[in-house]
Amino acid sequence: MPDLLAWLLVLAGGLAALLLPWLMRPKARYPRCKSAQVQVLSKEPIGVTFHDHERFALVQRRFRMTKRCARCQETWAVELIEAR
């Protein structure tokens, strides 16, 4: 019985070693062509919001970003919210 458990642990470790790089691969950021090579062309501020609470203060900055795919050269716009 302990030999079976040891073999199962070795098998599970080997399977995890094979699957871990696949699970940790960089995800595609542009859904049409599945490219992860994205360039930021511009980052324009839209506005700033200040939230004052009892224990902390929060500043949210909103940006409109224009990005371009390095593979297919398509451009698109996204909004980004940074919180500090």
Give pTM, 2 decimals.
0.51
Tell me, what's the pLDDT at 35?
Answer: 76
CA within 13 Å, CB half, 40: 9
Percent of the chain whose pLDDT exceeds 90: 10
- The pLDDT tens digits of the residues spanning 48-64 come to 988 887 788 888 899 99
**What 3-state class would DSSP assign to 29?**
coil
Query: CA gyration radius for the chain?
Result: 23
- The pLDDT tens digits of the residues spanning 21-54 come to 888 876 656 667 777 788 888 999 999 988 887 7
